[in-house]
Structure 1
């Protein structure tokens, strides 16, 4: 369990991204760009979206607002260090004073990184999280960035992180700093209407794990009061503000993800799931995520041969939401001992009947893990790590790479060592 400091933290900070939400919001991007003082704009997207009506809508809105727009459609789904650097080179050469990202978390994260390295050039690993990079603080604000998500999952439009695959080390990592947060989030649920069920599953499961992890993260009061308030981390731990968004996101996701996956015409379910993604982004961008996400970076970083449903047109890889959720039930079975009541509340929000359950670690563990497994099965999620091609022989490598993610593991509600991680990986091999 966690040891509380003699002088605990007593303050939490909320730095929320300005949000515009609703069907039709995408057509107002020109108005928002003008309000932020943009003139020459880089529009980031991926090759699949480049020829769609969504990109045409954004381009037309920006042009109607009198802006000079340059399209960058070379974003890689599940970015790498090289794809981040390619995007940064484009941004540096373009002399842009504003950025628009239109796409999933990969597009939004790539735009964040491009904006960072164009505004404050440095060696690539300078800003990357330690111990993989040097974790240099971002020197100052970036150019304005409007993030327009098109998937109901990552919540990247609300967060201060940009995640990528460091291919030379076969591990995922990222850059995290408050200045990476977009200036605006423009969230239009209509962008999800054409998403394939496989993409809905992967991104929606990301919503659930984001929300449950932020709800079960270590309390912000478990950190010591800092000598310098400027040293407070972006991930602060669970707090009263993040709790509101994370619990509601669990409720919305648990109810609407199976519906959105099963029926492409259920726009109400997709709208609710998109709102859950934004709420979860607000929550985990403030409180943090922990063990399942730390494990996911190893799962995705080591596996470059898996082809997920809905991603057949992409290079083989494990989509982020799947790489997280395959670890989550096993992780929550362990973290339940830290706060059984809070884990039972998460299970209830997710749809489990907890009315007659005692607030014990065993009951909370099985209620939350069991309900999450039920949802995974209903939407055809891979059955644990073994379904991705992993086995006992991979546990040492997975554990070593996950243990490097100390920024995330530090947010867990209990102390995490390599042995515990290995046990969780072992339990995550198969669920049913």
Structure 2
């Protein structure tokens, strides 16, 4: 299952880990609680964030009515981009600054929740956009104080943004994704209602579900927290601490649930058990990676999504090219885990078993291939593209992808093996196709 020495502290490294998460309410129909919970947090004027499509659906109307019934003044913002940019974040922040709410509520996928986090941050603590963005892309300046309360209500079983202090966007000037990471960004509460996923297209369930799978798999195989240098002060311990005993629990259960229910949830929107279990897996993996951090597949994904030319996935709006986040992550994953398995083969084999792989008799040397093979099997079963070539990239793009991924040092340094430029080039090349 797990080697005890994996969490044995090295010299000069940290010997403790911290567990943080939002307050969580999980269950069918819990969106109805939003008005009472917002009022209990002291909200009077609420900024309600969603997107134009969701604003036409019953879930939004239910939430809006719950807030009004609680006697709250509600200002609605629905101009959220499906793949947010620095520009769209700043537009949302201008709305928040003009509205001056004393609390925020978000209803949507990761794009909506991330946009709400950014609006809360820049309206509460105004600064140049790059001030808070992770180094080396931005300054990585600490958030100077607490934000307004935020209740996040996810509508996809994917990003886990409702329980993390991370927000992601496209930085248009670099054609790459970047992010801000701070405990202050973590929503105060999360209302997680599995009914919200009933109407999701199968393609969205597949991509978001593979994001969940990757969160769990990367957190489980990340550099352990006892191999990370001890912080100068305990309050400076990063959220991406590395694998730790708490995150391991959530990762293993999330992987088990994904192995059991992902294909079912993609195949049949009426399989309510499967979609509820996928939502729970997303919650577990979100808490896990919010306290351990992801690594190379996500770091590489930022370049894959940021450099897209003409790929338009079915199940998503067709007005502009995009590679959905979970898809941009999973196309890199088999190549990465073939490479990282050498460091902790037992963990890679255990992860494969959790996903349902047959690993009896497998030796440590087989770990990378066993796990990669299971990932490829799942990708094919849920209709993912055949690696990077399936989303429009070729050998000619490998250098640009490498240069786009290399600045994501917050993620790459969490990997269990070195992620130098030559290594990234090799991994992108191997990820071009799998079958």
The reply to whether TM is greater than 0.5 is yes
Deviation at 1:165, TM superposition (A): 0.3
Cα distance between partner residues in 2 of 1:204 and 1:110? 21
- SS at structure 2 position matched to 1:244: helix
Deviation at 1:313, TM superposition (A): 4.3
Matched, 1:309 2:330: no
- SS at structure 2 position matched to 1:87: helix
Structure 2 match to 1:326: 331
Change (3 A) 1:176 1:314: farther
- SS at structure 2 position matched to 1:50: helix
Structure 1 match to 2:6: none
Cα distance between partner residues in 2 of 1:189 and 1:304? 34
Q: Does structure 1 retain, via aligned residues, the 8 Å contact 2:47–2:96?
A: yes
- SS at structure 1 position matched to 2:79: strand
Cα distance between partner residues in 2 of 1:304 and 1:233? 34
> Which shifted more, 312-321 or 396-405?
312-321
What TM-score do you get using the length of structure 1 for normalisation? 0.98
- Deviation track 1:178-198 (CA, whole Å, cap 9, x = no partner) reads 000000010000000000011
Structure 2 match to 1:161: 166
- Match among 4, 28, 31 for residue 33 of structure 2: 28
> Which shifted more, 302-311 or 278-287?
302-311
Deviation at 1:158, TM superposition (A): 0.8
- Match among 277, 290, 295 for residue 290 of structure 1: 295
Structure 1 match to 2:416: 413
- Deviation track 1:314-338 (CA, whole Å, cap 9, x = no partner) reads 5321110000000001000001011
Matched, 1:72 2:88: no
Structure 2 match to 1:387: 390
Matched ranges for 1:170-319 at <5 A: 170-319=175-324
Gaps of 5+ in 2: 1-8
Structure 2 match to 1:350: 355
Deviation at 1:5, TM superposition (A): 5.0
User: In the comparison of the two structures, how many residue pairs are matched?
Assistant: 429
Cα distance between partner residues in 2 of 1:296 and 1:224? 26
Q: Does structure 2 retain, via aligned residues, the 8 Å contact 1:211–1:284?
A: yes
- SS at structure 2 position matched to 1:138: coil
- Match among 425, 430, 434 for residue 431 of structure 1: 434
Cα distance between partner residues in 1 of 2:159 and 2:321? 20
Cα distance between partner residues in 1 of 2:40 and 2:321? 40
Gaps of 5+ in 1: none
Deviation at 1:223, TM superposition (A): 1.2
Q: Does structure 1 retain, via aligned residues, the 8 Å contact 2:312–2:318?
A: no
Q: Does structure 1 retain, via aligned residues, the 8 Å contact 2:203–2:315?
A: yes
Deviation at 1:227, TM superposition (A): 2.7
Cα distance between partner residues in 2 of 1:357 and 1:210? 24
Question: What value does the CA root-mean-square deviation take over the aligned residues?
Answer: 1.3
Change (3 A) 1:131 1:139: same
Cα distance between partner residues in 1 of 2:24 and 2:269? 26
> Which shifted more, 223-232 or 169-178?
223-232
